[in-house]
Chains A and B, each alone.
Chain A
Amino acid sequence: MGSAEMCRDLAPEIDRLLRASNSYIKKKAALCAVHIVRKVHELGELFAPAARSLLTEKNHGVLHGAVVLITELCERNPEALERFRKTVPDLVQIMKGLVISGYSPEHDVAGISDPFLQVRILRLLRILGRHSETASDAMNDLLAQVATNTDSTKTVGNAVLYETVLTVLDIKSESGLRVLAVNILGRFLLNNDRNIRYIAMMSLQKIVGTDHNAVQRHRGTIVDCLKDHDASVKRRALELSLALVSASNIRSMMKELLLFLSSCPPELRAQTASGIFNAAERYAPSQRWHIDTILHVLTTAGGDVRDETVPNLIQLITNTSELHCYTVHKLYRALLTDISQQPLVQVACWCIGEYGDLLLKGECQETEPAQVTEDDVLDSLETVLQSHMSAPATRGFALTATMKLSTRITDNVDRIRSIVSIYGSCIDVELQQRAVEYNALFKKYDHMRAAVLERMPVIEKNSLGQTNGESAVEAIKAVQPATVKQGEPPLPLQPANQVCDLLDLLGGSEEPLQPSSVQSGTASGLPINNSSTAGGDLLDLLGGFEPTPAAPAPAVTVYEKDGVNLTLLCEKHSDSGLTVTLTASNSNDSDISSFTLQAAVPKSVQLHMKAPSGDFLPARGAAKVTQMVVLNNPNKVNLKMRVRISYTSQGSACQDTVQIDSFPGL
């Protein structure tokens, strides 16, 4: 606070001193004014006229101070900028004097006359010419002269040239001058002095967006700088190389970048890896090349890649179905050599789980097929499971992959069973849960195992904002109904509006009925993990509840009409919990398709519908459809249930409702 006041008080004094006769005083006063302007911007107006007059000074110190002051005024105030544009001819004159004049011992530095002042004037010219055609025109000649005449053997000459180049590129210069500037930068790139190369790359970075082609011409030199020993130079070269990658040079550039990745300093690794991924995604010439590149990065710098690399890669792999065989072979070989790079191991396990049958088949078009036995594959997965280098997530991947192989291999299913049961008592809770669920899959739900563990469908690219867990859920919804019917799977999950219809239909009932939670897919036990093991998530449907013992209660027919027969079987599994199994059969001569059931119960009762076994009822009772409904009645109200049946028979859709009031076995 006090200092702003001080500035205001002293400003007139400074202004007076700016006009003093002594140049020593004027010089210092100018720099004082610079500070005042920085502190209290409005006072800039006060100094503008004095600053203007100081430009006529001969003394370089004063001149320098004046230029700094004017620069400060112009940077802060656009009006001042407009007014000072008129000084461009004066500034050009001063520069010309400095450049052309003979040797002046007082200011000379290695043949350049007062480089400090020259650079300052060039900086001011840049600011004045930035958005003005007329101002830029006025300085074109001068800039060309400085660019060509300045001796570039010493650092000082290069300093002036550098500033000139920056000015040319910033103002509205004519194209010939721009080309000259970029050529100077190109010359800098070839200079032996590291400093010069460093600043050349920095300047090229600034213009790579606008003058892309001009910079591309120097790509070779820039890529060579990647091999320089200096860390700063390497960093600049990396940034510039990544900016120069385009569709035409992607293959050669990627070779260089991958080479760089293997030898680069650790602090640049993450940046390099993500840069490579971006470039590969944008310009990949073929899918195979893309996968190869990502695998190469994972083997060299697996520890430095971002987390979403794994799901992205998996998604990429599922999308290129023709390369599944090739991919799984490559990944298997990578797994054999090294299991320390976690992202790579995760992807490899996933692929082996999914495409293990291709691996075992022993034939592959794209690459040398590996003669692997089932034991070899299981060995490698077990190594990952037991290795202390594997992260918990990785072991989860490996366990799921082992489980998936149970449907893809023929001989060693027992071995898988034993592995899975061992991990049922693992300390890691996540692994234990999975193992227990897989065990259940073997024992109680063996009939579903094949369907549950079959090939994943192609994963849709996640839209922004969707987490991986959600996409896993979507995948589950798609896979579920494929248990019985292999064709297009009509989802058994009815949308919410149909539930409302149910209520409308049931209309004036005494007890308000609770709408059924018809989403049988999203059981509360569905964990959304970061690792997209959708196969594993699927099994949690079955895991959430204790498997109920099959109670020998009689099945009661609750509905019989038009050849459709619905029976009900009740089992009590706890004080308030009850599992109802609805079985449907079809005694018509024609098949019934799209068979679905909906249920509604009183408000205080909780209802949970499991996935039906299918929706197709073949004619003459050839097969049945079962659906389990879990009810929880904590308040012990009178249990009623309304069931709506809908199906398609002989091309026409039918619907019916039945109310169940008595539950045998309750």
Chain B
Amino acid sequence: MQKKSKTLLLLIHQLLCIYQFNYHLRKMRFLLLFSRQGKLRLQKWFTPISEREKKKIIRDMTNMVLARQPRSSNFLDWKDLKIIYKRYASLYFCLAIESQENELLALEVIHRYVELLDKYFGNVCELDIIFNFEKAYFILDEFLMGGEIQETSKQIVNRCIESSDMLQETMEEYMSKPAF
């Protein structure tokens, strides 16, 4: 029963997010991860936009962020949004928020996500994200949903991922058992 309502809920929420046309008044608009050479490693869009616009935004973001001086502030103004970016090792994390949101908290959101990745992968590096990008997305989906923070506790998010991993392993084991 629990699992059923859980899956139902997830489905409902995903659908609502997809068909959501009201762009405004959500905390975050999109999150991008790209390397120092401008290669995109992860993209999460919290509003529905066309493929062409997505490509344009990615191009704009990478150009803007990579052009920044090393010791400048982490905040940029772009159109009507604020872009918060931070570099961790070889990856740039770029988060777009509404103009009235708290920028320092956005920095903390980015940091929390990095911590979650680090806890899961153990000393996370860019390669982990490249080869296990679906896990990176799952973790993100447990942490943020629809442009808002979903769970503020690190442990709960990690527990969720671990339990879904366990489920996956059990299923795989089950599927690979020879059928007599």
The chain A residues found within 8 Å of chain B, CB to CB, are 2-3, 6-7, 10, 13-14, 17, 20, 22, 24-25, 27-29, 31-32, 34-36, 38-39, 60-61, 64-65, 68, 72, 75, 106-107, 109, 114-117, 119-120, 123, 155-156, 158-159, 162-163, 166, 194-199, 229-233, 235
Given A17-B9, A24-B6, verify A3-B16 contact (CB < 8 Å).
yes
For B107, give its contact among A38, A195, A231 (CB under 8 Å).
A195
In the bound complex, CA of A27 to CA of B104 (Å) = 24
Given A10-B12, A32-B9; 16 other pairs, CB 8 A cutoff: A13-B12, A28-B13, A31-B146, A61-B151, A65-B150, A68-B148, A106-B154, A107-B152, A107-B153, A117-B152, A123-B102, A156-B108, A194-B73, A195-B74, A198-B73, A232-B73
Q: How far is the CB of B107 from chain A (nearest CB, A)?
A: 6
Q: How far is the CB of B35 from chain A (nearest CB, A)?
A: 23
For B5, give its contact among A20, A31, A34, A72 (CB under 8 Å).
A20
In the bound complex, CA of A438 to CA of B103 (Å) = 64
Dominant secondary structure at the A interface? helix
Q: How far is the CB of B91 from chain A (nearest CB, A)?
A: 19
Q: How far is the CB of B178 from chain A (nearest CB, A)?
A: 35
Does any Cβ of A come within 8 Å of B15's Cβ? Answer: yes
Closest to B10 in A: A28
Does any Cβ of A come within 8 Å of B22's Cβ? Answer: yes
Q: How far is the CB of B85 from chain A (nearest CB, A)?
A: 11
B108 touches A61 (CB 8 A): no
Closest 10 CB pairs of A and B: A159-B104, A3-B19, A194-B73, A230-B72, A61-B151, A159-B105, A116-B152, A38-B22, A106-B153, A35-B16
Specify which chain B residues have a CB less than 8 angstroms from the CB of A116 in the assembled complex.
105, 108-109, 112, 149, 152
Specify which chain A residues have a CB less than 8 angstroms from the CB of B146 in the assembled complex.
31, 34-35
In the bound complex, CA of A230 to CA of B76 (Å) = 10
Does any Cβ of A come within 8 Å of B21's Cβ? Answer: yes
A35 touches B20 (CB 8 A): yes
Specify which chain B residues have a CB less than 8 angstroms from the CB of A22 in the assembled complex.
2, 5-6
Specify which chain B residues have a CB less than 8 angstroms from the CB of A119 in the assembled complex.
102, 105
Specify which chain A residues have a CB less than 8 angstroms from the CB of B105 in the assembled complex.
115-116, 119, 159, 163
Does any Cβ of A come within 8 Å of B155's Cβ? Answer: yes
27 A-B residue contacts at CB 8 Å? A3-B19, A22-B6, A24-B160, A35-B13, A35-B17, A35-B20, A38-B26, A39-B16, A39-B21, A60-B152, A61-B150, A61-B151, A64-B152, A68-B148, A106-B155, A115-B105, A116-B108, A119-B102, A119-B105, A156-B104, A158-B104, A159-B105, A163-B105, A195-B75, A199-B75, A229-B69, A232-B72
Given A119-B102, A162-B104, verify A27-B150 contact (CB < 8 Å).
yes
Closest to A198 in B: B73
Q: How far is the CB of B138 from chain A (nearest CB, A)?
A: 15
The chain B residues found within 8 Å of chain A, CB to CB, are 2, 5-6, 8-10, 12-13, 15-17, 19-22, 25-26, 69, 71-77, 102-105, 107-109, 112, 145-146, 148-156, 160
For A38, give its contact among B15, B20, B102 (CB under 8 Å).
B20
Q: How far is the CB of A11 from chain B (nearest CB, A)?
A: 10
Q: How far is the CB of A192 from chain B (nearest CB, A)?
A: 11
In the bound complex, CA of A189 to CA of B154 (Å) = 32
In the bound complex, CA of A235 to CA of B154 (Å) = 37
In the bound complex, CA of A72 to CA of B148 (Å) = 12
Specify which chain B residues have a CB less than 8 angstroms from the CB of A195 in the assembled complex.
73-75, 103-104, 107
Specify which chain A residues have a CB less than 8 angstroms from the CB of B156 in the assembled complex.
61, 106
For A28, give its contact among B9, B107, B152, B153 (CB under 8 Å).
B9
A6 touches B16 (CB 8 A): yes
Given A31-B13, A195-B107, A232-B73, verify A2-B149 contact (CB < 8 Å).
no
For B16, give its contact among A7, A109, A117, A233 (CB under 8 Å).
A7
In the bound complex, CA of A155 to CA of B74 (Å) = 12
Specify which chain B residues have a CB less than 8 angstroms from the CB of A39 in the assembled complex.
16, 20-22
Specify which chain B residues have a CB less than 8 angstroms from the CB of A198 in the assembled complex.
73, 75, 103
In the bound complex, CA of A163 to CA of B106 (Å) = 12
Specify which chain B residues have a CB less than 8 angstroms from the CB of A229 in the assembled complex.
69, 71-72
In the bound complex, CA of A40 to CA of B68 (Å) = 41
In the bound complex, CA of A13 to CA of B155 (Å) = 29
In the bound complex, CA of A162 to CA of B75 (Å) = 15
Q: How far is the CB of A233 from chain B (nearest CB, A)?
A: 6
B76 touches A25 (CB 8 A): no
Given A14-B12, A28-B145, A119-B102, verify A155-B107 contact (CB < 8 Å).
yes
A25 touches B16 (CB 8 A): no
Closest to B27 in A: A68
Specify which chain B residues have a CB less than 8 angstroms from the CB of A107 in the assembled complex.
152-153
Specify which chain A residues have a CB less than 8 angstroms from the CB of B150 in the assembled complex.
27-28, 31, 61, 64-65
Q: How far is the CB of B44 from chain A (nearest CB, A)?
A: 15
For A199, give its contact among B13, B71, B104, B151 (CB under 8 Å).
B104
Specify which chain B residues have a CB less than 8 angstroms from the CB of A13 in the assembled complex.
8, 12
B151 touches A115 (CB 8 A): no
The winner among B13, B21, B71, B73 for most chain A CB atoms within 10 A is B73
Closest to A38 in B: B22
In the bound complex, CA of A32 to CA of B5 (Å) = 14
Specify which chain B residues have a CB less than 8 angstroms from the CB of A3 in the assembled complex.
16, 19-21
In the bound complex, CA of A39 to CA of B20 (Å) = 7
A31 touches B145 (CB 8 A): yes
The winner among B16, B69, B149 for most chain A CB atoms within 10 A is B16
Specify which chain B residues have a CB less than 8 angstroms from the CB of A10 in the assembled complex.
12, 16
Specify which chain A residues have a CB less than 8 angstroms from the CB of B72 in the assembled complex.
194, 229-233
In the bound complex, CA of A117 to CA of B153 (Å) = 10
Q: How far is the CB of B71 from chain A (nearest CB, A)?
A: 7
Closest to A24 in B: B6
In the bound complex, CA of A120 to CA of B109 (Å) = 13
Given A162-B102, A199-B104, verify A64-B75 contact (CB < 8 Å).
no
Closest to A108 in B: B154
For B153, give its contact among A60, A158, A166 (CB under 8 Å).
A60
For B15, give its contact among A6, A120, A233 (CB under 8 Å).
A6
Closest to A14 in B: B12
In the bound complex, CA of A7 to CA of B104 (Å) = 33
A38 touches B25 (CB 8 A): yes
Specify which chain B residues have a CB less than 8 angstroms from the CB of A32 in the assembled complex.
9, 12-13, 16
In the bound complex, CA of A484 to CA of B107 (Å) = 78
Q: How far is the CB of B113 from chain A (nearest CB, A)?
A: 12
In the bound complex, CA of A28 to CA of B13 (Å) = 8
In the bound complex, CA of A64 to CA of B105 (Å) = 14
Q: How far is the CB of A638 from chain B (nearest CB, A)?
A: 73
Specify which chain B residues have a CB less than 8 angstroms from the CB of A159 in the assembled complex.
102, 104-105, 107-108
In the bound complex, CA of A485 to CA of B81 (Å) = 66
